[in-house]
Amino acid sequence: MEEDDFKRRRLLESVISIIPQSDEQPIWLAGYTEYSQLTPLKQDFLWLIEKLQTSESNCIQRIYAQLIRWKIDWYSADQVSAVITFSQINSALKAEFLLELEPILLNSNRAEQEKIEYIKHQEMTLKNKQKLLEPPPKARISTYLSQFETGSVAAWWHLCREMTLLPTSTHYHERFESDITTLPGWQEADEETRLRIIAAAKEYIDQGDPETNAWFGTNSFHYSALAGYKALRLLSTKEPNFIATITAKIWEKWAAIILDYPNAREDKDKNIRRRLIKEAYQNAPHEFVRALIILIDHENAEHRSIDINSELNACWDERLASVLFDKIQDERLTTKSLGNLLKDLLVNQFDRAKAFAESLITLPLPTAGEARKKAIIAAQMLMLYSEDAGWSVVWNAVQQDPEFGREVLEAISYGVKYEGHIEQRLKEDCIADLYIFLVQQYPDSDVKKPEDSEDEALTGVEAYLVEPEDSIRVWRDYIPQRLQERATPESCAALRKIIHELPELKEKLQWRLLEAEALIRRQTWKPSQPEDILQLVLAQEPSNLYLSNQLEEIGLRTQKMAEEPKVDQSIHIAGSNVSGVVNTGSGKIENKINPLNAEKRFDWKSWLSITVALISVAASGVFNDEIKQFFKRNPSPHVEQKLEKQTN
């Protein structure tokens, strides 16, 4: 039962369905006693929750809830989180975990009931702990080692089972644990016994028979095959140099179980797992590929998706890519399976895969059916994993069919909304098009705010289901910031394009454009060099034409000032007051000025005369030689060379 998840679950489901309604708990399903060989395993936890949700009978739901309580691993965050989540929508599960989810008043009836259940559980556990295996695990291990050393090859897989036992065990544990060194039998073994186990592992991979044809491609495994993988795993840890000496014939024999070992992806030492897969592929490529195709077909038919491809990174090459490319053209592949394989090919930049994905997005787009589903998954994979996000093809399809664009973008938005790695592969103008599309298709006015109920009061954290539209809007709102941070002329042009197309967002986006422009100036500004400044100071004497233009401009300014209001030169002082007449051309206005203030009056005519004189002298170049002589003091060699060139 432990080797076949499908059969074990079918049997559990059948047994639970015929249990009569009773207040007694089916404790015998918990696996606490030596007679409880039928019990859910840790890989069945999520299956138990699924059955709880789909069961219509309250009695059956209560049994599944009890099993979930008995089998939960309180050290697993995923399992605890699942219980908390589903307890909110399932009353049977909530009732079973009420002790953990809600406080219990001391001395209440419920507290007394929980106390009775706890004592009952402790008594049963203590009773089981008092029983010891006979013969003990050490003796069992020694027996099977001796049998193997005397020629019984099958004794190896019996030995692997016995190593899972503790002195108080009532049944075999962790039969799928691939690392023998973590098992109680290895931990308790002395050094001599460990060396004998390693020697037996070497012998078994040579002499053992995995019986591949009897189980491969099904939901079951033979002990003989499982034991072979455990032997290879042990040797990779304790005798790593020995792995390189294994012949191609041996790798060919164990290739299938290396690929298909259950729970192998949970191995804590990923490097060992990768090395075994790589060695199997390099030494037995034909058998490896044959087994891989069988597993792909099995997973596609059984699960409607493919997961084995995640194991292939360690051995990726052109030959393997070609095999997978041929497979993605198989019409029997589901849409999800197609996406699984297409992802790997695009990530590894297999050019023919990109062309194939683009060929699935034909215009006009299919309106329904598998063809449309494959076009959508192809567009998703291109946007996520191709170098240019497949934009030219995907954008044409989106423009023709906005609903197609919504389906594609909503499917990928959750994983890309914060990272921005799609924008990193797009040109700025394309990013602007994407943003405009998202704003038009997902306006903020469509956001529905939850309405508070007057009849219901919140007693905890309010749950909110994140919809694809929420992820889209988060992604959308990050795009202007990413354009601003690029700080290129093209990104500024993209922001201007957005503002032009969406004038209602001008106030919201204008400051980002200004910031981007300022950032460009900061990044491109170069300070003037001292030589450039001196070159300006030591410029050549102005030409006659330049002087003529300057004098003409001075004349025009003088004429303009002459037309401004003037103070009459005839000033009459009578007593303590000074009289002045201002001539405006249309009449005279008499002003009286305090004599003290008259002394402090700004004589603008005198200053104007001086300014004109200085400009004339400078323009004539009379003192150019003196100015040059001033700047010639201790010049740098570089400036001296420039001065010599100017003199010549």
Give 458-488 pLDDT, tens digit per residue.
444 444 566 888 899 999 999 999 999 999 9
Give 79-122 pLDDT, tens digit per residue.
888 888 888 888 888 888 877 777 777 888 878 887 887 787 77
Residue 255, H or E segment: helix 248-260
Which among 385, 373, 437, 430 has a CA at the least distance from the CA of 409? Answer: 437
Whole-number CA gyration radius for the chain: 43
Give 379-395 pLDDT, tens digit per residue.
999 999 999 999 999 99
pLDDT at residue 347 greater than cutoff 80: yes
- Are the CB atoms for 483 and 491 separated by under 8 Å? yes
What pLDDT was estimated at residue 586?
45
For the chain, what percent of residues have pLDDT higher than 90?
A: 48
Residue showing tokens 């973590």 = 182
- Enumerate the β-bridge partners of residue 572: 579
Instruction: Give 609's pLDDT tier (boundaries 50, 70, 90).
Output: low
- Are the CB atoms for 312 and 275 separated by under 8 Å? no
Domain ranges of the chain: 5-129, 155-165+178-315, 427-446+480-522, 534-647
Cis bond leading into 135, ω under 30°?
A: yes
Q: Report how far residue 353's alpha carbon sits from residue 317's, in angstroms, rounded to the nearest whole number.
A: 14
Average pLDDT in the 607-624 region?
54
What pLDDT was estimated at residue 455?
42
Q: Which of 49-63, 89-103, 516-530, 581-595 has the lowest mean pLDDT?
A: 581-595
Q: Report how far residue 105's alpha carbon sits from residue 116's, in angstroms, rounded to the nearest whole number.
A: 15
Chain mean pLDDT for the chain: 81
Residue 592, H or E segment: strand 588-593
SS (H, E, C) 67-134: HHHHHCCCCCHHHHHHHHHHHCCCHHHHHHCHHHHCCCCCCCHHHHHHHHHHHHHHHHHHHHHCCCCC
Phi, psi of 307 (to 5 degrees): -120, -20
Residue 579, H or E segment: strand 577-583
Q: What value, to the nearest 5°, has the Cα angle with vertex 142 and ends 140 and 144?
A: 70
Could you tell me where the DSSP H helices lie in 386-424? 391-400, 402-416
- Are the CB atoms for 356 and 325 separated by under 8 Å? yes
Q: Report how far residue 29's alpha carbon sits from residue 367's, in angstroms, rounded to the nearest whole number.
A: 51
Q: Report how far residue 406's alpha carbon sits from residue 232's, in angstroms, rounded to the nearest whole number.
A: 49
Average pLDDT in the 513-534 region?
86
Average pLDDT in the 427-436 region?
96
Instruction: Give 608's pLDDT tier (boundaries 50, 70, 90).
Output: low
Give 567-606 pLDDT, tens digit per residue.
554 444 445 444 444 444 444 444 444 444 444 444 555 5
Q: Residue 380 is encoded by which pair of tokens?
A: 């998703």
Residue 378 burial class via C-beta count within 10 angstroms: exposed 0-12, middle 13-18, buried 19 and up? buried
pLDDT at residue 450 greater than cutoff 80: no
Query: pTM higher than 0.75, yes or no?
Result: no
Cis bond leading into 364, ω under 30°?
A: yes
Give 147-190 pLDDT, tens digit per residue.
999 999 999 999 999 999 988 887 787 778 899 999 999 999 99
Q: Report how far residue 73's alpha carbon sits from residue 76's, in angstroms, rounded to the nearest whole number.
A: 5
For the chain, what percent of residues have pLDDT higher than 70?
A: 77
Q: Report how far residue 345's alpha carbon sits from residue 386's, in angstroms, rounded to the nearest whole number.
A: 9
Q: Residue 616 is encoded by which pair of tokens?
A: 């004339």
